[in-house]
Amino acid sequence: MTINSALEPILQAFAEFANTDWSQMPVEAARAMLDSPITPREPIEMARVENLTMDLPGRAIPARLYVPNGAGERPALVAYFHGGGWVLGGLETHDATCRSLAQASGAAVLSVDYRLAPEARYPAAAEDCYDACIWAEANADKLGVDATRLAVAGDSAGGNLAAAVSIMARDRGGPGIRHQLLIYPVTDSDFERVSYADNGGGEYFLSTGAMKWFWTHYMGETNPVDAPLARVLHVEDLSNLPPATVITAQYDPLRDEGDDYAKRLAAAGIATDHQTAPGMIHGFFGMSDTVPDAAQWVEHAGANLRKALA
């Protein structure tokens, strides 16, 4: 299948990003270029949107809670971790995505503004996201949610963090997580896969050069081989993890590592719904307002969350 035609003007708009020499890219310049959110025509109305500060051990980080219309008095909770290579992104860049997912799932969505690299390197983001789930469980009454019905979700680096938190929760004795939604997740630091060769030139938005840049800033002096919460594909034991939805994109450098992680989850006995979105690129999940065919994947993810959190 060829690339979805609705993506063509978007790729043209991001041509500067695609052609960037990432080896010379300052962090602040990348943030200035990419941290301006794509504003939907009309933001999805929520019953409640609340900016929060989560007081975690030794630090405080921002968050935003989205409660959709019709969610009931004690909705289930989805902790959402944004993409951006652990370096870019935040509450504003993923505001529309969180609204869409809240509406599709019927659950409250807690968007976690974890610390970014290189200011806070591995494993700071993973620890922030894990502690955010602990905090949400402890503050469920104040939030008005049912944290016994908790899922984790994220896109790209956020998908990596959702997978890492699922592993951390298993190994650290909680909190209980009912589902993990992994949207084109980062799972490995191997840039020699076929999907990198086919899709990593920048013509489909995300490039191999950008991914190398992201990994360098997140790892710092740490060898990725010594970073199991980043290279989740290589975690030896993937048993006893939450059921998973894994969505990858046909024209994405990360496609193969996401596919391989889904296969490893299934082989470990984890109920896994894994699908590759045809004609789509990295980042498509947040483009449903401008790419009509992307909306079905948001609905698919929301339906899986709704079922898991019932």
Residue 146 to residues 9, 39, 96, 130, 295: CA-CA distances in angstroms? 41, 30, 23, 17, 27
DSSP letter, residue 241: P
The chain-wide mean pLDDT, for the chain, equals: 96
At 38 the pLDDT is 61
pLDDT on residue 305: 98
- Examine the pLDDT at 302 and tell me if it is beyond 70: yes
Q: What is the pLDDT of residue 216?
A: 98
Does pLDDT of 157 surpass 70?
Answer: yes
Q: Which two tokens stand for residue 15?
A: 């041509």
Summarised one tens digit per residue, pLDDT across range 51-94 is: 999 999 999 999 999 999 999 999 999 999 999 999 999 999 99
pLDDT of 3-27, one tens digit each?
999 999 999 888 777 778 899 999 9
Catalytic residue among 252, 256, 259, 288: 252
Q: pLDDT class for 1, splitting at 50, 70, 90?
A: confident
Instruction: Quote the pLDDT of residue 33.
Output: 85
- Which is catalytic among the residues 105, 155, 282, 288? 282
Q: Which amino acid is at 17?
A: F
User: Which residue in 105, 156, 166, 195 is the catalytic one?
Assistant: 156
Active site residue 252: yes
pLDDT of 158 strictly over 90: yes
pLDDT one-digit tens code per residue, 216-263:
999 999 999 999 999 999 999 999 999 999 999 999 999 999 999 999
pLDDT band at 152 (very low <50, low <70, confident <90, very high): very high
Identify the pLDDT of residue 39.
Answer: 58
d(CA 178, CA 241): 9
The answer to whether residue 156 is catalytic is: yes
pLDDT digit string, tens, across residues 32-50: 988 876 656 789 999 999 9
Question: Binning pLDDT at 50, 70 and 90, where does residue 203 land?
Answer: very high
Query: Which residues are CB-contacts of 163 (< 8 A; sequence separation ≥ 6)?
Result: 180, 182, 185, 187, 232, 261
**pLDDT single digits (tens) 92-134:** 999 999 999 999 999 999 999 999 999 999 999 999 999 999 9
* pLDDT attached to residue 34: 82
Q: In whole angstroms, what is the distance from residue 295 CA to residue 286 CA?
A: 9
Task: Please give the Cα distance from 212 to 221 (Å, whole number).
Answer: 14
Percentage of the chain with pLDDT > 90? 93
Tally of CB atoms within 10 A around 127: 22
> How far, in Å, CA of 121 to CA of 127, rounded?
11
pTM of the shown model? 0.97
